[in-house]
Structure 1
């Protein structure tokens, strides 16, 4: 066979392949949600002359084609495998580290970003002196597990950023230093390998440190039953980084040996929803299995316990708090979890009407220095 004939055959095969792909894209129904990527997919945009002339229609249609491409999950996995074979170690701000750890880049804040958050929290403190305040800014896995980073990668220091933030706070705000504790435990499974959260073990060590500042005795591990509820968790960084063929994570729950979930009342106040458990076990069947903890993020969650302690706590939080809160039920009679990203009600009214005496702000460093809601906090 001569070269000319071979070129014709290759061209014909390519044309046939292209036609098949086009037909498949036409006949394949659009999906609303990608389980693999854990996100909503772009839908077919509505056409209008105005959107076409502005360029909006073209941009949205390109995103739609990309999201709804036939056998998208297959192509994503194929690309991931090729990248891995070629030694690629970074994708979409996620590093593929040693031992298949996926590590999310830390977005180093500007000095003004830190200053704005210091001012906002100090202002809140000045307006609510009767409220005792504690702050935990949790370093993320890329900082604590820096030994897992690919060679030649240098990440900005979260420790320096957190220290600069701490130095600016009013003196009566208790800053809870958990950095050294977590760093000393980095040989343990304290962060998920495929997700940006700390594990229940990591949350427990932070709880131990908090107890020293809040004046209660941390419940020892011996009083908990550690239950593995899944070994198939592929988390947010698996979805974001598109690195495939990595080991799935375990999710463990620490359940009090002498306490039944039925003794706890959980109210999703703004959603008219109630539960008798801190855990939504049915969510273990979903892609985002971390939502087993309080069914994920909600504007306001009120937890009523049977604790003998006459203490009420409000937690301003991101999702790091979800696996942390179960450790607190022995120490507070009522716990209010407020996610400022979704809570738009009067914070001072909530605190005053429920006679809440203590506040904990708990965020991971990446979220805290990027999220606008903490900068705009109002009392």
Structure 2
């Protein structure tokens, strides 16, 4: 009798626990079903990330070949994770949650294996010129076949939106960017550099070819080191098994024809390494860094640079750049936002430009960054990477002109050219579709400046530039 009463009592004691377990299980199942329903709620799915400056993955079209190869299901998985409803808020919460684990000190974000090549001290001979035979087919083909050997670059379109790489296996993190190898320490990020002799030889060969096509034009080249080479301790660089950036630039210049004016800016930037010359959360230099490079350009050209105090200055806080989004919004970077410092040209701040749709528009050389999204504020300069921009200084009437052939590093540099030339033409070689040889002769352009950051030196990018001169 006592045993029966004891059993009944134990059942009564276990009943609340059993009910609680069932209730929790039911709540968990309901939450999971709710998340699944939310995930497939197409009207709630975002199509564009304002923070990351890019279009999100779209629902893939079902095709027999995709089903057979499995590509359809990989694309479906990427779409599901990349455009999940309320993804911006969820990513922010996730970054803050990771931050609760405490300071990590340093971290390396790897996107692919890189081989470290030894850098020769000097070239035994100049890089060869290429025979284009009146067209750019060879250059375009070279660009297409060199994609696989190219280092990972931060690619943007004309509005500064980050572009996703197209690959067969799209195993991409939720934030969507695929960047180079990134090292994060002391609340700032650096992109690792690995030397490739094939890439720098292709770049020097492109310049030698352009100079041979335009013997009457003064050709300048400026290779800009990134923050990794200038500001990170060389001992840390050695630990990360990266390549020496200053030696790589010197070797690249040794491949170029002596008639090309090579503007070395590594030493000048290194002298100011403790100043705000590179962003913490973005792969670009600041305009202060571009100013020190401009001083070196003036030295090579034989003219006097303007002092920063002569320009009107504007500042815009709260900028988060490519590194921040490429590291899935690393908490260390979130706590260290950047600011845009901009110096407005004296002669004029007006420009004409052609966007990617071919529309001719009016704009400003330096724009109001406060009206831009936090991830877009580098577009303060030239309104981003447009195919073609033209600036005419009404205070100069001597017919002087320069063509700047650049990627996005050139945007912060271009404003300093305005007060030295009547005409400043800016071409982003990634989007421009015309023939620059004809353009230079039609507009009687006397000088051409190629400005590229060191990560953009490669066979593909060199082929793209050379194709414009065919």
Q: Are residues 1:232 and 2:250 paired? A: no
Please give the per-residue CA displacement for 1:38-61, whole angstroms capped at 9, x wherever unaligned: 221101111223321132211110
Indicate whether 1:25 and 2:112 are aligned: no
Q: Is the 8 A contact 2:353 2:386 kept in 1?
A: no
Choose the corresponding residue for 1:175, options 262, 265, 280: 262
Q: Distance in 2 between matches of 1:320 and 1:284?
A: 22
Paired position in structure 2 for 1:15 = 29
Residue in structure 2 matching 1:241, options 324, 327, 332 = 327
Structure 1: gaps spanning 5 or more residues: none
Matched ranges for 1:113-152 at <5 A: 113-147=199-233, 152=239
Correspondence 1:89 to 2:107: yes
CA contact 2:429–2:464 (8 Å) conserved in 1: no
Deviates more, 1:298-307 or 1:171-180: 298-307
TM-score norm. by structure 1 comes to: 0.89
CA contact 1:269–1:302 (8 Å) conserved in 2: no
Matched, 1:153 2:244: no
Aligned to 2:420, what secondary structure does the other structure show? coil
Q: Which residue of 2 aligns with 1:54?
A: 69
Matched residue of 1:22: which SS?
helix
Instruction: Verify the 8 A CA contact 2:344 2:366 in the aligned structure 1.
Output: no
Alignment partners' CA distance in 2, 1:136 and 1:320 = 11
The CA deviation at 1:21 is 0.9
1:298-339 per-position Cα deviation (integer Å, ceiling 9, x unaligned): 111121112244321111101111111111111111111111
Give the secondary structure class of the aligned counterpart of 2:339. strand
Residue 347 of structure 1 deviates from its aligned partner by 1.4
How far the C-alpha of 1:29 sits from its partner, in A, is: 1.9
Q: Pick closer, same or farther for the CA change 1:312–1:94 going to 2, 3 Å.
A: same
Asked if structure 1 preserves the Cα contact closer than 8 Å seen for 2:218 and 2:260, the reply is yes
Distance 1:363 1:155 in 2: 20
Secondary structure of the residue aligned to 2:44 is coil
Please show how residues 163-202 of structure 1 align to structure 2 within 5 Å.
163-202=250-289
Write the distance in 2 (CA, Å) between the matches of 1:260 and 1:213: 24
SS of equivalent residue, structure 1 residue 163: helix
How far is 1:76 from its partner? 2.6
Cα distance, 1:142 vs structure 2: 1.4
Deviation at 1:341, TM superposition (A): 1.0
> CA distance change for structure 1 residues 215 and 341 in 2, over 3 Å: closer, same or farther?
same
TM-score (norm: length of structure 2): 0.73
- Cα deviation for residue 144 of structure 1 reads 1.2
Q: 1:9 to 1:160 in 2, by over 3 A?
A: farther
Paired with 1:141 and 1:183, the residues of 2 have a C-alpha distance of 10
- Give the whole-Å Cα distance in 2 for the aligned partners of 1:19 and 1:320: 47
CA distance in 2, matches of 1:232, 1:57: 39
| Structure 1 stretch displaced more, 359-368 or 267-276 | 267-276
Residue 222 of structure 2 corresponds to residue 204 of structure 1: no
- For 1:358, the equivalent position in structure 2 comes to 447
Question: Aligned residues, how many?
Answer: 372
Q: Secondary structure at the match of 1:324?
A: helix
Report the CA distance between 1:11 and its aligned residue: 4.7
Tell me whether 1:298 sits opposite 2:386 in the alignment.
yes
Query: SS at the partner of 2:336?
Result: coil
Say whether 1:325 aligns with 2:343: no
